[in-house]
Each structure stands twice: as structure tokens, then as C-alpha cells.
Amino acid sequence: MRRFIVAVLAAAILAGGGFGLWQFRQQLHQAANASRAGGGPPAGLAVPVLAEPVSVERIAEEVTAIGTLRANESVALRPEVAGRVAEIAFAEGSVVTAGTVLVRLDDQIPRAELAQAEAELALAQATARRAQELYARGAGSAAARDQA
């Protein structure tokens, strides 16, 4: 029984393949006859083509890409003193010359420290003057004068 089923299946496959081959050859034969008779391609098999005359034109050389750009020349800016940046006096990518001010630091804290140092100097000078006067009158010691 099993051999019979295998034989029937094989015969059906061969018959289907033969029928498909016959159909294909018929279509080719009909297409060849229609082409000879009508002078054009057979109906249903035409491929639309868009034709354009040849012309010389400029093309834009443009590349779209994703990536990272790095300058071949760069400068690392570091201040000689620490401080908060108050102003950036240049535009990124601009050309600068030697001596151009690029960044201004906030000078409030250094100015306050300078004023404090000047006040301490004035106080120390006044103390030294007073100690010298007291020593000259004999009211102060030489050690107090030297310490002031």
C-alpha cells in the first residue's frame, strides 16, 4: 500500500511539472508570434522606460555623514591665576593675534584682597610709628619697637 501511495505522488509531481513546462513554452511561443506580427512587445509584457536626452550639467559635491570633527590645530587656555570668568572676548573658530585679550576674569575678589592688604599695611606702619615714638620718649622698650 505504501509503495502505491509513493508511486501516485511521484506521478502527480511529474505530471504537474510537465504541465507547468508546457504552459511556459506556450507563453514563450505566443509572445514570439505576437512580436513578429505586431512589431512591438507582446501585450502585458511591456516595461515602461523613461528616456532623457544626454546633457552636461554641474553636480554638487555634497556628502552627508555622521561623525566627529576635530581641528588640526587647537589651543588650551589656562589662566595664571584662579578666578571666575566674567567675559569671553572671542568667537569660537575666529582668528586671533598675539596679545589679544581672550578672556576677562572677575576681579572683585582680588580687588577686595588688595584693599585688605593695603589696610593691613597702613595699620602696621601706624603701629611701627607709634612704637618708635614711644621708644624715643623712653615709654616703650626696644623689643616692642622691633616687634612692631
pLDDT mean values, one per 10 residues, the chain (148 residues): 90 93 87 65 70 88 88 80 86 86 87 94 90 80 70
pLDDT of residue 119: 96
Distance CA(85)–CA(101), nearest Å, equals: 13
Q: What is the dihedral of CA 9, 10, 14, 20, to 10 degrees?
A: 40
Domain boundaries, the chain: 1-37, 85-147
Question: Residue 112 corresponds to which amino acid?
Answer: A
CA angle (82, 88, 92) in 5-degree steps:
120
Give how far Cα 27 sits from Cα of 23, 24, 35, 42, 49, Å.
6, 5, 12, 10, 23
pLDDT of residue 19: 93
Max distance between CA atoms of the chain, in angstroms, equals 145
Please enumerate in sequence order all residues whose Cβ is within 8 A of that of 144, keeping only pairs 6 or more positions apart, or say none. 131, 134, 135
pLDDT of residue 114: 94
The whole model's pTM is what? 0.38
pLDDT of residue 38: 56
CA angle (64, 68, 73) in 5-degree steps:
120
What are the grid coordinates assigned to 14, written together?
A: 511529474
CA angle (54, 58, 63) in 5-degree steps:
120
